[in-house]
Structure 1
Amino acid sequence: MKKFAMVSLAGVVTLGMVAGPATSLASTHEDPSTTDYSDVDTGHEEFNEGFNIYLALTNGDVILRQGDQRSEYVSDVQRLLDTRGFSTNVDGIFGPNTADSVRSYQDTYGLTVDGVVGPNTYQSLSDRHPYPNELFRYGDRGEYVMEIQRFLTEERGMEMAVDGIYGIETERNIRVYQEYSGLQVDGVVGPKTWDSIFTYVR
């Protein structure tokens, strides 16, 4: 699992940054709370497809094993394996290399080592990143912000720059995500929004 950069200042964990502490972007951007998001293309179709894949695999409606070529499901598992350091080609084909990566993952995390992706293995693969006990909002910068952006773009099909800057684009994507997921729409990533982003939990 990808590690987050953190810096401790006076006992308080803060975002790891090269450019210095979080600064407000209000002087260079419009107020996000007054922005109309109705015509923003944020990849809802991709998000909905990904959520359906998540439900099918965690509920056991779909179980994957070597030889499976249900590309949308297999590709999702392959991406998660690769993200967690168990290298495999993301080609949508559950071949011998993917099976070996699944077995290695299962062995590493104390799961039944059978090379089959059932509910327990998939839930473990898609388990959330631990919440870092901070609120992330418009104007923030750093590694945590970049990880939120990366996960929303690569795993949830939304569209935004992955630059570690919580600007107007990230703000409006968070608001759209919160509305879609039945969360409080405030544009702030707190514990509920964080957990939802990293697990599809609603």
Structure 2
Amino acid sequence: MTSTQPSTEAQLDRPELREGSTGEAVKELQNLLKKYELYTGAIDGIFGPATTKAVKAFQHRVFLKEDGIVADKTWRALYKGAPVDLPILKKGSKGDLVVTIQKILLTTKDYTGSADGDFGVRTETAVKAFQKRVGLPQDGVVGDRTWFEFSKIHH
């Protein structure tokens, strides 16, 4: 039995949009950005500087490259209202995304270490504290639900 619901992991048949684009797809984009309170301009189907600014703000919120270009990942995140395609991070993980979550956990006061990109015991403890506060299972692992909660934090 196959689902008729589009998967957020499947590619959407939406055009790539960028500053200078026009048309119905841009109106759709502007309506989605308005829903997330990132765009306050007219729903005019013209992708101008205000739309670019709103797209970049949304991309920042969902941990995407902030290029102002609405390609597949940005469309999927807009429809889902959450980050897409992010890796699971846990003790032993390293890299820029670990720095990102450490900075968020510093903002929420769950973490007091340095944002060094090394997911160790202190980061795991901080993730568990954050998960407890937002009502998630406290496993210390950053998966889809924790990424979604992180996307709600001003970062």
TM-score grouping bracket, smaller chain normalisation? 0.3 to 0.5
TM-score with structure 1 setting the length: 0.37
- Which has the higher relative contact order, 1 or 2, with Cα contacts under 8 A spaced 6 or more apart? 1
TM-score with structure 2 setting the length: 0.47
